[in-house]
Amino acid sequence: MIDISLQQDQFEVVPALVQPTLVEVLKARVKAEMALDVALPQVHTLPIDQMLQARLASFDPEMEDAEADNAFYIADLGEVYRQHLRWKALLPRIEPFFAMKCNPDPMVMRLLASLGAGFDCASKNEIQSVLNMGVDPSRIIYANPCKQNSFVKYAHTNNVRMMTFDNAEELHKIKRFHPEAQLVLRILTDDSKSLCKLGLKFGAPLDTTGFLLATAQELGLNVIGVSFHVGSGCFDANAFGEAVIRARRVFDQAQEYGYEFNFLDVGGGFPSAHVTEGITFEKVATILGPTVNALFGPEVRVIAEPGRYYVGSAFTLATQVIARRTIVRDLAEAFTADQSHSPSHMYYINDGMYGSFNCIMFDHQVCEPKVLVKDNAFTYKQVVAEPHGYASVWGPTCDSIDCISPKSSLPLMETGDWLYFENMGAYTITAASQFNGFRKSEILYTTSEQEVSLHF
């Protein structure tokens, strides 16, 4: 296997290829600002530890109004930028269309728009927010195979033409509301090697694609190619190669129905940057890139819909321990059973399952708390004191499902101390609710890459 893993210093050669000129950047910025007419939050250039410290230092427990003890995120836009460069370096042929449902943060979106990425949208609101940034409708794929009528009309009115389908009813709908659409047939692939099995809901089995192509042809619709999604949180890089082979079969089949396909969409499911063992982005690229090149000529435009890949590692969440319960054990039990493995404390923090940690339920994530402030000492990325047995960590709502970690190894924490969670950028804040009156955690922005400043 070829080693195509990137060294940090290799990134330096790439910006010239991918970075628009300063004039282009400034023009896009003016256009976007006119469209939005909002003041942007400040993007700092401090390292994450200093961002955390500065925010915590602004916390004065004597001040009543500020709510400076709320949980908050530090977003490192430099991480998003590096992921983009890495994509361009390892999969140069494949155009990334960011799956915005993963994290539609306005700053992330603007950075990616400015870098020239496209967008995978699933609803009218998502399309609208991308168009509002001044992004051309040709840089949007409406990648939801089952769409609401009025949303299809909206796409038509706004000249968003690329959209996916996987059933015949959708073709009739599109014929009625958007007859000039450029249709992409989403096929079913093997998603058994993924945490989120999207095949349960979407994708045409290969024994139905003939019928769908025949229907499209009868309706006079323009089908341009194939898409798939190996499943979110995919843990087998081979799934991508197998899916591309399936797509090739449908390309060949399409010719029987008079279609000359020239578009392939390899979907999402790419691992985030913090994944360094098992399936890594390098491994996926090593399989995907050559397979695509071997099976599809240069006339075929290839795009992908990465979501977590771009943002997973870019967000760090800081939360305060707002309450603590010491578990009092029955004396008899304490003398008989081995207590070393059962939690001795319950910590309650100010973001939970109904907020950022919905990823535990919806995205099968395991969120590991780390100590940020204890005994007034700042311990980000430091090895802290001996763990004090086990503890469970809970969110702030009154629901018992609101458990973040049933068993964590932590030192003894006091109310008012802080915990942090890394890699909280994907499928977290986007689905956070305000259940029980708790606000979504605020986001502070920084960048570990200077170039990012040019894009705002």
Contacting positions for ligand PLP (CB under 6 A): 99, 101-102, 120, 143, 229, 232, 267-270, 305-309
The DSSP bridge pattern shows strands 315-326 and 343-349 to be: antiparallel
The tokens for 382 are 């430091």
Q: Which residue bears the tokens 């694609």?
A: 209
DSSP letter for each residue of 19-87: PPPHHHHHHHHHHHHHHH--PPPPEE-S-HHHHHHHHHHT--TT-SSS-TTS-EEEEEHHHHHHHHHHH
- Residues annotated as part of the active site: 398
Nearer to ligand PLP, 43 or 91 (CB): 91
**Closest approach of Cβ 358 to ligand PLP, in Å?**
15
**Closest approach of Cβ 172 to ligand PLP, in Å?**
22
Nearer to ligand PLP, 305 or 351 (CB): 305
**Closest approach of Cβ 269 to ligand PLP, in Å?**
5
Nearer to ligand PLP, 199 or 306 (CB): 306
What's the CA gap between 391 and 408, in Å, rounded?
A: 5
What's the CA gap between 366 and 194, in Å, rounded?
A: 15
What's the CA gap between 311 and 86, in Å, rounded?
A: 13
Run of H or E residues at 348? strand 343-349
**Closest approach of Cβ 163 to ligand PLP, in Å?**
11
**Closest approach of Cβ 303 to ligand PLP, in Å?**
11
Nearer to ligand PLP, 140 or 393 (CB): 140
**Closest approach of Cβ 184 to ligand PLP, in Å?**
10
The tokens for 325 are 């319960």
Nearer to ligand PLP, 72 or 427 (CB): 427
3-state helix, strand, coil in the chain (%, to 5): 40, 20, 40
What's the CA gap between 213 and 223, in Å, rounded?
A: 8
Q: 132: how many CB neighbours lie within 10 A of its CB?
A: 14
Nearer to ligand PLP, 272 or 392 (CB): 272
Nearer to ligand PLP, 270 or 296 (CB): 270
Query: Taking CB positions, which residue lies at the least distance from ligand PLP?
Result: 307
* 61 contacts 94 by C-beta, under 8 angstroms: no
Q: Which residue bears the tokens 């609401």?
A: 148
The DSSP bridge pattern shows strands 301-304 and 418-421 to be: unpaired
What's the CA gap between 422 and 371, in Å, rounded?
A: 11
DSSP letter for each residue of 213-270: HHHHHHTT-EEEEEE----EEE--THHHHHHHHHHHHHHHHHHHTT----EEE--S-P
> How far lies 282's CA from each of 4, 38, 291, in Å?
7, 38, 14
The CA R_g of the chain, rounded to the nearest whole Å, is 24
Q: What are phi and psi of 369, to 5 degrees?
A: -75, 145
Nearer to ligand PLP, 270 or 394 (CB): 270
